[in-house]
């Protein structure tokens, strides 16, 4: 949020009123605010990118949400929730995961957190033809998670090979896989790859990658710029202010 907008938000919180763009009437508000972030706001304050006064206005109650890999006990409950949600949307009630499929989901580290899990379950619900979802409907990157190590030794054919083509192909497949893991959210994918979102966006355009943004991933209420509660993801820090 630009510093200018931060100042406007701070005024609304302090004065509890605002004026619409182009309007002449001051409108009183009585609201409760939930703010979420996955960045270090204290560091941003030191860099002059976040207002200190706004930070302390928001930082009344702070809740740290651990990543999904650190709370594996939640995975079965979340999985059942998404099975019910997308089963109802697709008129497929009563869907179940087989033990093998559930084991794969439980063993995976979920770098994309709950959004990635939701994406995998929605995909399985859409593709299944029966009432039980087996391991074959779990994406390959979940069945065989990539390691941080170098890929297996590559054998160069006798006629040689284009170094540039190999690198381009690998980068393209890596970006596509990461976007899938991040539910189509480019900012999340950039975080997983440890690169800037602008860099990732340039590579997506360069390789003509067309990621499918998952429905509902960044959904919001009609007419509102505020995210739904379910859009607050792991790794986010949440602050709340109650106004009685």
Choose the weakest-confidence range: 54-68, 106-120, 203-217. 203-217
Does residue 185 sit in helix, strand or coil?
coil
What are the extents of the domains in the chain?
Answer: 3-64+233-241, 68-145, 153-213
Strand partners, 240: 34, 61
Q: For 16-48, what is each residue's pLDDT tens digit?
A: 998 888 888 999 988 888 988 878 888 999 999
CA atoms within 13 A of residue 27's CA, in its CB half-sphere: 9
**pLDDT score for 212:** 52
In the structure, what pLDDT confidence band is assigned to residue 1 with cuts at 50, 70 and 90? confident
Averaged pLDDT for residues 159-169? 84
**pLDDT score for 155:** 67
Strand 96-97 and strand 132-133: pairing? parallel
Q: In the β-sheet with 237-241, what is the strand arrangement from edge to edge? A: 33-37, 237-241, 61-64
Beta carbons of 78 and 32 less than 8 angstroms apart: no
Exposed e or buried b per residue across 168-203, where buried means at least 16 C-beta atoms within 10 angstroms of its C-beta:
eeeebeebbbbbbbbbbbbebbbbbbeeeeeebeeb
Does residue 216 sit in helix, strand or coil?
coil
Domain 68-145 architecture: Orthogonal Bundle (1.10)
Helices (H), the chain: 3-15, 41-46, 52-58, 75-89, 99-107, 113-127, 140-143, 163-181, 186-193, 197-206
Of residues 216 and 111, the one with the higher pLDDT is: 111
The overall average pLDDT reported for the chain is 81
**pTM, rounded to two decimals:** 0.51
pLDDT at 153 over 90: no
Alpha-carbon span 110 to 145, nearest angstrom: 10
pLDDT at 143 over 80: yes
Nearest residue to 143 (alpha-carbon basis) of 171, 181, 94: 181
Q: For 177-223, what is each residue's pLDDT tens digit?
A: 888 878 788 888 888 888 989 999 999 988 888 755 444 333 333 33
The owner of tokens 């497949």 is 173
**pLDDT score for 216:** 39
pLDDT at 175 over 60: yes
The fold adopted by the segment(s) 3-64+233-241 is Rossmann fold (3.40.50)
What is the distance between the terminal CA atoms of the chain, rounded to a whole angstrom? 26
Of residues 169 and 218, the one with the higher pLDDT is: 169
**pLDDT score for 145:** 61
**pLDDT score for 180:** 80
Q: Name every residue whose Cβ is closer than 8 Å to that of residue 30 and which is 6 or more positions away in sequence.
A: 16, 243
The owner of tokens 């067309």 is 210
In this chain, the answer to whether the domains covering 3-64+233-241 and 153-213 adopt an identical fold is: no
The fold adopted by the segment(s) 153-213 is Arc Repressor Mutant, subunit A (1.10.10)
**pLDDT score for 78:** 95
Averaged pLDDT for residues 82-101? 93
């Amino acid at each position: 949020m630009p510093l200018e907008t931060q100042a406007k938000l701070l005024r609304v919180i302090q004065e509890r009123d605002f004026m619409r763009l182009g309007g002449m009437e001051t409108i009183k508000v009585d609201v409760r605010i939930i703010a979420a972030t996955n960045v270090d706001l204290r560091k941003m304050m030191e860099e002059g990118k976040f207002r200190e006064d706004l930070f302390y206005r928001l930082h009344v109650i702070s809740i740290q949400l651990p990543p999904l890999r650190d709370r594996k006990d939640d995975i079965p409950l979340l999985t059942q929730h998404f099975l019910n949600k997308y089963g109802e949307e697709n008129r497929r009630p009563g869907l179940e995961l087989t033990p093998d499929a559930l084991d794969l989901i439980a063993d995976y580290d979920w770098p994309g957190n709950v959004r990635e899990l939701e994406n995998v379950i929605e995909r399985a619900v859409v593709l299944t033809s029966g009432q039980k979802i087996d391991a074959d409907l779990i994406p390959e990157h979940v069945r065989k998670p990539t390691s941080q190590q170098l890929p297996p030794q590559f054998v160069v054919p006798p006629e040689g090979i284009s170094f540039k083509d190999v690198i381009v192909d690998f980068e393209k497949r890596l970006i596509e896989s990461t976007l899938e893991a991040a539910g189509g959210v480019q900012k999340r994918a950039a975080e997983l790859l440890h690169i800037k979102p602008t860099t990732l966006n340039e590579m997506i355009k360069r390789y003509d990658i067309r990621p499918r943004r998952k429905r509902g991933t960044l959904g919001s209420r009609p007419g509102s710029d505020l995210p739904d509660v379910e859009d607050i993801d792991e790794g986010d820090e949440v602050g709340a202010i109650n106004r009685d």
